[in-house]
Chain A
Amino acid sequence: MRPYETDHSVKGERDMQDGAAAETTQYLTFKLANEVFALDIGKVREVLDFTAVTRIPGTPDFMRGVINLRGSVVPVVDMRLKFGMPAIDQGVNTCIIIVEITVDGETTVLGAMADAVQEVLDLDPDRIEPAPRIGTRLNINFIRGMGKRDDQFIIILDIDKIFSLAELTTVLDLEGEEKAAANS
């Protein structure tokens, strides 16, 4: 386990081992606004500093665009917007968590924007509670469970669900919106 100072970003890249079994107990914690979330470490490839993102026209706001990751073009999702939080300008600690998800046997690499990355946490299964059906104000499908660290609750996210194709591929018709705005 490699602890990071809380609230300071991880400088540079870190490769994560993908040795996790189904009962993985290691999670990467990160912050969005004042809340702490966690991701299964087995899905995390690396963490990058925030870099220039090229916007793709005709995509929802939470799709920030794409970045150049050593020659590959990787999409980046703004987690704040996806979860309905207000967007903010990038801070010094903002980073992109590169995750690898598998859908229908196909592996896709995506980046998730976070305000700050914290630490890798070991959580025993008995310290994880099922997600409450109400109260989180998040789509219940996105949550795998609630973890406890000291006295704080951490929302453990199901990255496969959040980044499922159905969730990401809502395409907007910008012209259509413009026309509607012009006519009203």
Chain B
Amino acid sequence: MIDHCRQVFLEEGDELLAELEIALLELEQSPADGGLVDRIFRALHTIKGSSAMFGYDGVAAFSHEMETVFDLVRDGGISVSRDLVALTLQARDLLKEMLLLPVANSAALEGRARQLIDSFRMMVPVEAELALPEPGTGASVPAALTSFLIRYSAGRDTFRMGANPVHLFNELRMLGECRVRALTEAIPALEELEPTFCYLSWEIELATECGLDAIRDVFIFADYDEVEIVPLETVANDVGAAEVLAASDAPIATSGEAAVEGPVYEAISSIRVSAGKLDSLVNLVGELVTVQARLTQTAAGRDDHNLLALAEELERLTGDLRDNTLSIRMLPIGSTFSRLRRLVHDLAGELGKEIDLVTEGGETELDKTVIEKLADPLVHLIRNCIDHGIETPAVREAAGKSRLGRLRLTAIHSGDCVQISISDDGKGIDRDVLRARAVERGVIPTGAVLSDTELLNLIFTPGLSTTTMITNVSGRGVGMDVVRKGVDLLRGAITVASSKGEGTTFTLRIPLTLAIIESLLVRVGNESYVLPLSLVEECIELSRADVARSNGRHLVNVRGAIVPYIPLRQRFGVVDQAPDREQVVITEVEGKRVGLVVDQVIGEHQTVIKSLGRVFRDVAGLSGATILGDGAVALILDVPQIVHAEELAECGA
């Protein structure tokens, strides 16, 4: 039991440290943003609390020190600077290491902790030095008795969250003398009253010695509420306070922050589930889908209306179950992008380059395992861009570019794939150097004629590198090979485009799910095939007359528009006579409409994807197989590949 709780603590600790890192990197970009400082403070505060609970004393003590430092930052005692952020990032890394050590034994790291604390102390300006408390006490600067006017509006969902404002008032009472007044204007008439909502706000007068920070700390977890803290002139009697109350409308900002607004989002309760359980669930759903398809087929063969109705109902439910289950494993890629920020930040610093990382499409969702497997290739690609692509500021300036190099990461859904691109505005790939290197290494013969694409794809050859220097970041010619293998494992594809002097773009296309897709079942010759329904626009008939009319050109007229088609019978080498009436399945691929001619369109089919294995991996036009309801195997068509191959064939390439 304890172990389970500790596991949860460690996982949450990880998340908090990740959040801390993100906030710190953002703070470097926007040093004046007090909200970020608060986020950092909250994260440290939570780490301190929970680590103390689980006996990680070293962690608790150290995070307490950092909390104190950021307290001073909040007050303006220490200004936010690159050095502060760098130091705090180091401290965060130390915390992470401390958490990894088996149960609370962080004595070994304490030396480093002390060093960091000393460095932090150096940042504190001399006058405030006096105010810096002894480590371990954490008390705020004692002040004379000050009166504060606090306006507190509880969020609507306060009661539903299980919070009770009275607890807050009791905590305030511990700070000093307190007078609480409830404001009831917002309560609606009884008919409109929603009993679970909180319509109340309060005005509280508090006379305390403890200072503004102590009051802020009371409300530290009041995310969803609005709090305004206004210090009044030190007043001797209540009358004075009441006057000030009436007179002041707007709150006076103190040290940049008096109003604390919570993030505007509904609290989503969540639950942790082990990935293994999810995998079994997805497998079971896959099997269920297959059996349900067979049931539907069997029911269609009988003449039993009840059975048919039940089969339909089951189909609908199975579809919902499948959609829900697959979406459980979908996560936004933004979290990966954020982790990469740290890498870019550190790498840029290490290599002396100035880099601006721009991300787009962070909300694009991918299956969890896909995201995990993508992390490595992305890291290698970014390393490549920063090390080889983007030039040093001096070189860039000389070339007339801005000193700041730009690295763009984008993710977008495209059909049933996700397209991720990494582009830099660096110096691009030097094709001559690449060619020379490849010939030198014996990868290609001297006189070889290669298309531009083939030439650029050489960069993925293991052992091939165009740099003369090997840094500890790259240069051994290993990274790109890892990228390609990684992308292959995900059944994806990677292409590279590059322009000398202007930059390079890597584009990865990864299928969205590894498991189940909605598809259209068709027949060509004696075999059945499926293609993703998301690509299909419509199906039209193609008669012999139509074919004759187009004089051997594979074009068809669809309501006035010309659509090219690919006769799959020819493509697949089917020798027997085609039926009189064939069907053209009009698909849209990369913005273009292409028809695929099949003998028959059978209908929709929920496809559980089975890999064809290594033996057939290189067969063009197929991306897998599936088992049909009657046990037969149907092949899954890779439409973009088929179209692409046809394009190449017609160009005579």
Q: In the docked arrangement, what's the CA distance between A58 and B610, Å? A: 19
Question: Is A114 on the interface with B (CB-CB < 8 A)?
Answer: no
One of A55, A109, A171 near B618 (C-beta < 8 A):
A171
Q: Does B613 lie at the interface of the complex (its beta carbon under 8 Å from any beta carbon of A)? A: yes
Q: Is B616 an interface residue when CB atoms closer than 8 A count as contact? A: yes
Given contacts A67-B633, A68-B633, A108-B613, contact A175 B625 (CB under 8 A): no
Known interface pairs A165-B615, A168-B615, A171-B618; A68-B572 also in contact (CB < 8 Å): no
Contact between A110 and B572 (Cβ–Cβ < 8 Å)?
no
| Residue pair B570, A175 in contact (C-beta under 8 Å) | yes
Residue of B nearest to A176 (CB): B649
Cβ-defined contact, A54 with B570, below 8 A: no
Tell me the minimal C-beta distance from A75 to chain B in angstroms. 5
A29 vs B440: C-alpha distance when bound (angstroms): 50
Q: In the complex, are the beta carbons of A54 and B635 less than 8 A apart?
A: yes
Contact of A73 with B620 at beta-carbon distance under 8 Å, contacts A57-B571, A57-B572 already known: no
Q: Name the A residues within 8 Å of B622 (CB-CB).
A: 56-57
Select from chain B the residue with minimum beta-carbon distance to A53.
B633
Contact with A along B523-544 (1 / 0, CB 8 A): 0001110000000000000000
Instruction: Mark each residue of chain A from 17 to 58: 1 if its CB lies under 8 Å from any CB of chain B, else 0.
Output: 000000000000000000000000000000000001011111
Task: Report which of A73, A165, A171 forms a contact with B610, defined as CB distance below 8 A.
Answer: A73
CA distance A176 to B645 in the complex (A): 11
| Cβ contact within 8 Å between A54 and B632 | yes
Cβ of B632 and Cβ of A59 under 8 Å apart? no
Take A73-B610, A174-B571, A175-B570 as given contacts and tell me if A66 and B620 are in contact as well, using a CB distance cutoff of 8 Å. no
Could you tell me if A66 and B612 are in contact, using CB atoms closer than 8 angstroms? yes
The residue that A58 contacts in the complex, of B527, B528, B620, with Cβ under 8 A, is B620
Q: With an 8 A cutoff between CB atoms, is A12 at the interface?
A: no
Number of A-B contacts (CB under 8 A): 82
Inter-chain contact B616/A56, CB cutoff 8 Å: yes
Q: Given A71, A72, A75, A174, which contacts B572 in the complex, CB threshold below 8 Å?
A: A174
Taking the nearest CB of chain B, how far is it from the CB of A97, in angstroms? 16
Give residues of chain A (56-83) contacting chain B, Cβ–Cβ below 8 Å: 56-59, 63, 65-68, 71-75
Does A151 touch B at the CB level, under 8 Å?
no
Contacts of B614 in A (CB 8 A): 106, 108, 165
Q: Does B393 contact A (CB under 8 A)?
A: no
Interface residues of B in 620-645 (CB under 8 A from A): 620-622, 625, 627, 631-635, 645
Answer yes or no: B467 CB below 8 A from chain A CBs: no
A110 CB to nearest B CB, Å: 7
Asked if A169 is at the interface (CB within 8 A of a chain B CB), the reply is yes
Tell whether, in the assembled complex, residue A73 and residue B611 are in contact, meaning their CB atoms are under 8 Å apart.
yes
Chain A residues contacting B247 (CB-CB under 8 Å) are: none
A178 within 8 A of B: yes
Residues of A within 8 Å of B2, CB to CB, are none
Complex Cα distance A178/B635, Å? 22
State the Cβ distance, B213 to closest chain A Cβ, in Å.
60
A143–chain B nearest beta-carbon distance, Å: 22
Report the nearest A residue to B645, measured CB to CB: A175
- B651 interface residue (CB < 8 Å to A): no
Find chain A residues with CB under 8 A from B618 CB.
169, 171
Check B615 against A75 for contact (C-beta < 8 Å): yes
Q: B242 contacts the other chain (Cβ, under 8 Å)? A: no
Most chain-A CB neighbours within 10 Å: which of B570, B571, B611, B633?
B633
**A52 CB contacts on chain B under 8 angstroms:** 632
Pick the contact of B616 from A75, A106, A175, A176 — CB < 8 Å?
Answer: A75
Which residue of chain B has the shortest Cβ distance to A110 in the bound complex?
B615
Contacts of A165 on B, CB cut-off 8 Å? 614-615
Known: A56-B622, A58-B620, A73-B633. A108 touches B615 (CB 8 A): yes
Of the listed residues A52, A73, A175, the one surrounded by the most CB atoms of chain B closer than 10 A to its CB is A73
- Distance in Å: Cβ of B577 to nearest Cβ of chain A: 16
Q: How far is the CA of A68 from the CA of B649 in the complex (A)?
A: 33
- Interface positions of B from 149 to 169, Cβ below 8 Å from A: none
Contact between A174 and B612, CB atoms less than 8 A apart: no
A80 to B525, CA, bound (A): 25
16 A-B interface contacts by CB (under 8 A): A54-B528, A56-B635, A57-B572, A58-B621, A66-B616, A68-B631, A71-B290, A73-B612, A73-B633, A75-B615, A168-B615, A169-B617, A169-B618, A171-B620, A178-B570, A178-B573
The 8 closest A-B pairs by CB, nearest first: A57-B572, A54-B633, A174-B573, A73-B625, A73-B610, A75-B615, A168-B615, A68-B633
Given contacts A73-B633, A106-B614, A171-B620, 15 further A-B pairs with CB under 8 A are A54-B633, A56-B619, A56-B635, A58-B572, A59-B619, A66-B612, A68-B633, A71-B610, A75-B612, A108-B615, A168-B615, A169-B615, A174-B571, A174-B573, A175-B645
